[in-house]
Structure 1
Amino acid sequence: MPTTLIFASFFLALLGLSLQRKHLLSLLLTLESMALTLYVTTALWALNSTSLPIMVAPLIILTFSACEAGMGLSLMIATARTHNTDQLKALNLLKC
């Protein structure tokens, strides 16, 4: 039963990711919910395992999730400062 709920929450976050195409902040929130469900899944998997590499996997996913959140928020702040909006259409205007 908990496995079904975890997969349902992941696919709901994936559906939200595909439907939220207007604001960058809502896109980042759905990405964070996907990362949270992956963290919960690997944490439950590590509880049932005795292998050391599997026990480290939740920490690795949590680290990547924090890095992803930091980079996403910095991109949103840079976009909001330069274009005065957090719309995803403004990301096409960022050119090197």
Structure 2
Amino acid sequence: MMTIYFFPYIYMFIIGLIVFVMDRKHLLSMLLSLEMIVLSLFIFLIVFLNFMGYQEFFSMVFLTFSVCEGALGLSILVSMIRTHGNDYFQTFSILQC
């Protein structure tokens, strides 16, 4: 009975991983797929903690870390666009940095 509740979130996680692995052209699409993965893990965590009868304190810690991860990703995106003019990974070179 417990596996019925987790199937949609497992599918969300797998689809987010597939998009993250397959679409590596733009940094913004990678950040959006990472946020989809984090959101599916957060919902999975909420459902699991409610099902097991635990408190949801750990979910707030997880949400805090995911917000910090999103803010860090956006700051990296803004700095890359300011320095290079776009977010394509093909235009970046380690030798130029």
Which band: TM-score by shorter chain?
Answer: 0.7 to 0.9
CA RMSD of aligned residues (A): 1.7
Find the counterpart in structure 2 of residue 62 from structure 1: 63
Q: Which residue of 1 aligns with 2:36?
A: 33
Amino acid at match of 2:69: E
Structure 1 length as normaliser, TM-score? Answer: 0.86
Query: What amino acid does structure 2 have at the position aligned with 1:24?
Result: L
> Residues 5 and 47 of structure 2 are in contact (CA less than 8 Å); yes or no, is this contact kept in structure 1?
no
- List gaps (5 residues or longer) in structure 2: none
Contact 2:23–2:29 (Cα < 8 Å) also in 1: yes
Deviations 1:5-42 (CA, angstroms, capped at 9, x unpaired): 11011001000000111000000000000000000011
The change in CA–CA distance for 1:92 and 1:69 in structure 2 (over 3 A counts) is farther
Q: TM-score, normalised to structure 2's length?
A: 0.85
For residue 22 of structure 2, what is the aligned residue in structure 1?
19
**Higher helix proportion:** 1
Q: 1:16 aligns to what SS in structure 2? A: helix
